[in-house]
Structure 1
């Protein structure tokens, strides 16, 4: 069967269309079995953290006085065991996971919004504006993060929104650098010159042309950033600077389990396994997205 030049050009157009690019990305991502399995596992962990306590029908603060300091067992429904107050560790782990995932999601979203806006403006306008904006970033890198976190928690308390704000206040710096570097290469492209020729303003070009072309890079880097934010929240909670009772998180549970490691090791191992497994899944999904969005693989 003859294959004409017009058929080849039509196939190339279909491959370069948004639908063709999305289909090609999906095929490359599905071929990565590790990333696909990690995505499915991450979905079930997230679903369990948000719906599990409701489905189990138990309150994380409810005590079972007949099952104090019970190790993990299938009897009585305490699959992860209980603590010294008889509270079910599975329900507390799922409830703490919901808080940790909320901090990770909100912190990543806030850091992405600030970092993308800041980096895109610095990279597009360039010159003195870029120099001043990036020196501010360098100055913030020099500020001891943990000292600021301790100061804010001491002065304003350990509210949930304050934990997110403290983590996001410094997490956007790396995103701003990445976005700035990509913007420097995008601003010399032909479609930017065309937008300038028709009279588009600088902010309009950044919003309509620069930012949409950075979505792939931002999504991939967000999957790299999210585990760091969740881990930062866990470290703050481990140090006693995270969320406070009656709320709990994986970091709070790990800190509590570390104090009782010899007598009740399951109090540390169960939430630590959930935290590590979730962070690994997010990392593998990020690797899969990076490989699927790599132009060299098309």
Structure 2
């Protein structure tokens, strides 16, 4: 979780320096979700998400150097510098993107689950999307097919309260998003997405449900993003006091540090050592991203089509 936090802070700095172009959506505040779910993921289970995706990549085990280099559009990036913030992949880590179309990954993730069922491999697809995407039509088409065919998929709604700049109360007639699958007979529950242990327990239950052949499950993770929707968003639609209150009382990393200290599992010195180690990893990643060469112009013509075997 700390790696994600420090990585995103540095990514924000690089964006401000002009080293990252295009869009950049930071995961600061939501770290407990990707980490909590990843802690129960089994080898071969797939992860797919939208454009706020750096945290999921790091939680899956992707190399911070390759992720940061992709943000700066360098050849050493995980997608050879051609995907950028929104479109990174790592089949080695079972990570299937990063997708820029709002809600589009939900149908793709349902397809991954269909492949799992077809192969009968007992794998689960973890499909992430936000509260804004929860109002997209393809989400409900996917829900219908997933339940109809009892697909092994866990839908994870990262409800950070604001779809771009619109609060959920102003954009959704039903704000309890875990109930969105009720008409399709998909069970769901609300989870404190700022508590990594609560996320872990809920994800374990949902994954067991899907893996056992009982079909899809919906988890609504109540969370909060500290930064704007993207780096170009000043977030004037909410007050500074609101953000500060969440940081002060619900921060997911502070919560874990308090648990470690309270139970005698780590003292202040150990926690500072972890932070120093993480900062060094992020600094190395930033330097690699800054100095890695740009892709050759010929890369424009690679990875466009897949050559099928005759």
TM-score range, shorter chain: under 0.3
TM-score normalised by the chain length of structure 2: 0.21
Greater helix fraction, Structure 1 or Structure 2? 1
* Larger proportion of strand: 2
